Amino acid sequence: MSGLFGTLNIGKSGLFSNQKVINTISHNIANANTEGYSRQRAELQTTRPYSNPSLNSSAEAGQVGTGVQVSQITRIRDTFLDYQVREELGIDGWYSGRDKFLTEIEGVFNEPSETGLSSLISKFFSSWQELSKQSETSNARTVVAEQSQALTNELNHTYNKLESIKENAQDLIKQTVFEANKILDQITQLNQEIIQVSVAKNNPNDLMDRRDLLLDQLSSKFGITIDKKIFNGINVSTKKDADANTPEGINLIQDINPDDVARLGYVSNIEPVLDASGKPTGNYNIEYYKNGDITNDANRVVVKDVALSKEEFMELDQCRVVWTDKEGKLLKSDGKSQDPTAGTPPTYPSATSIVKFTPSSGEFKGYMSVQEDVDKYIDQLNKLAKSIAYSVNAVHGQTADATKDDCLFFVNKDKATAAGEAEITAGNISINKDIIKDVMLIKTGKDGGGESDGTRALAIAQLMDKLMEVQKIKEDTDRKSFINDLCGNANFGDATKVIGTINGKTSGMKVNNYFKDVVDALGVQTQQAKRMVKNQFVLLQSFEEARASVSGVSLDEEMANLVQFQHSYQANSKIIATVDELLDVVINGLKR
Q: CA-CA distances (angstroms) from residue 8 to 44, 567, 575, 580?
A: 19, 18, 7, 8
Is residue 238 within 8 A of residue 200, CB to CB? The reply is no
- Per-residue pLDDT for 527 more than 90? yes
Reported as a single tens digit per residue, the pLDDT across 303-346 is: 888 888 888 899 899 999 999 988 888 887 767 777 766 665 55
- Contacts for 523 with CB less than 8 Å, ≥ 6 apart: 106
Q: CA-CA distances (angstroms) from residue 228 to 37, 253, 342, 457?
A: 20, 11, 37, 74
The predicted structure's pLDDT at residue 112: 82
Question: What's the CA gap between 68 and 46, in Å, rounded?
Answer: 4
Confidence class for position 254, pLDDT limits 50, 70, 90: very high
Mean pLDDT of the region 274-282: 85
- Contacts for 564 with CB less than 8 Å, ≥ 6 apart: none
Region of 36 on the Ramachandran plot (φ > 0 left; ψ -120 to 50 alpha; else beta): left
- Contacts for 470 with CB less than 8 Å, ≥ 6 apart: 383, 384, 387, 486, 508, 509, 511, 514
Higher-confidence residue: 521 or 244? 521
Q: CA-CA distances (angstroms) from residue 582 to 4, 5, 47, 113?
A: 8, 10, 24, 95
Running DSSP on this structure, what letter comes out for residue 468? B
Single out the residue of 68, 17, 82, 72 nearest to residue 41, CA to CA.
72
Q: List the beta bridge partners of residue 227.
A: 235
Single out the residue of 344, 340, 320, 341 nearest to residue 330, CA to CA.
340
Reported as a single tens digit per residue, the pLDDT across 141-182 is: 999 999 999 999 999 999 999 999 999 999 999 999 999 999
Reported as a single tens digit per residue, the pLDDT across 352-391 is: 567 889 998 999 999 999 999 999 999 999 999 999 999 9
Question: What's the CA gap between 377 and 519, in Å, rounded?
Answer: 9
Mean pLDDT of the region 51-72: 72
Question: What's the CA gap between 399 and 473, in Å, rounded?
Answer: 19
- Using omega within 30 degrees of 0 as the cis cutoff, is the peptide bond preceding 345 cis? yes
Q: Reduce the DSSP state of residue 423 to 3 states and report it.
A: coil
Single out the residue of 240, 258, 260 nearest to residue 248, CA to CA.
240
Which range has the top average pLDDT, 95-99, 138-142, 273-277? 95-99
Confidence class for position 480, pLDDT limits 50, 70, 90: confident
Question: What's the CA gap between 153 and 159, in Å, rounded?
Answer: 10
Is residue 425 within 8 A of residue 157, CB to CB? The reply is no
- Per-residue pLDDT for 34 more than 90? yes
Confidence class for position 535, pLDDT limits 50, 70, 90: very high
Q: List the beta bridge partners of residue 262.
A: 325
* Predicted model pTM: 0.87
Q: For 68, phi and psi rounded to 5 degrees?
A: -135, 155
Q: Reduce the DSSP state of residue 281 to 3 states and report it.
A: strand
Mean pLDDT of the region 42-59: 75
Radius of gyration of the chain (CA): 38
Question: What's the CA gap between 518 and 109, in Å, rounded?
Answer: 10
Running DSSP on this structure, what letter comes out for residue 419? T
| 183: amino acid identity, one letter | I
Is residue 373 within 8 A of residue 356, CB to CB? The reply is no
- Per-residue pLDDT for 479 more than 90? no
- Per-residue pLDDT for 534 more than 90? yes
